[in-house]
C-alpha cells in the first residue's frame, strides 16, 4: 500500500537539541497529522493541520502544512528524554464519512541525556 516519504528514518540527538523531521507525498491531502508511538502502544495524536500553509504549535512541538498540500514538517524544540519514540506523519483522505489515514514509515528518535 501507499506510504508517505518520511525522513530521516532515525535520529540520535543530545538532550536539549532541536529536532526537525519532514514528510512528502505524491498526492494531495486536505489534512496532515503527526503522531507519536511508544513501544507496545498505539499512535497518539500530537498535532493536526487542516489548512495549507498552516503553522501550529503544541508546547515544544511545531508543525506546518505545506502550501502545495503535499508535504509537512514537525519540529521539536529543546528535546527531553521522554521525547524518545517513533514519530509518524499521516495524510487524511475523507469522503462520505470515511476517514482513511495514509502513514509514513516513521522517524525513530533517540535522545541522549
Contacts with another protein by CB under 8 A lie at: 1, 3-4, 6, 31, 33, 40-45, 48, 88, 90, 92, 94, 96-106
Nearer to another protein, 84 or 92 (CB): 92
Under 8 Å CB-to-CB from 88, ≥6 apart: which residues?
6, 34, 35, 36, 37, 43, 103, 104, 106, 107
Nearer to another protein, 89 or 111 (CB): 89
What is the closest distance, in whole angstroms, from the C-beta atom of residue 100 to another protein in the complex? 5
Nearer to another protein, 16 or 57 (CB): 57
Amino acid at each position: 500500500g501507499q506510504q508517505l516519504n518520511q525522513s530521516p528514518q532515525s535520529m540520535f540527538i543530545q538532550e536539549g537539541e532541536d529536532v526537525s523531521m519532514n514528510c512528502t507525498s505524491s498526492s494531495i491531502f486536505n489534512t496532515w497529522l503527526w503522531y507519536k508511538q511508544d513501544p507496545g502502544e498505539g499512535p497518539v495524536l500530537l498535532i493536526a493541520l487542516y489548512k495549507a500553509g498552516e503553522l501550529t504549535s503544541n508546547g515544544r512541538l511545531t508543525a506546518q502544512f505545506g502550501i502545495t498540500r503535499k508535504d509537512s514538517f514537525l519540529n521539536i524544540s529543546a528535546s527531553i528524554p521522554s521525547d524518545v519514540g517513533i514519530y509518524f506523519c499521516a495524510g487524511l483522505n475523507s469522503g462520505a464519512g470515511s476517514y482513511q489515514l495514509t502513514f509514513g514509515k516513521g522517524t525513530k528518535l533517540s535522545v541522549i541525556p
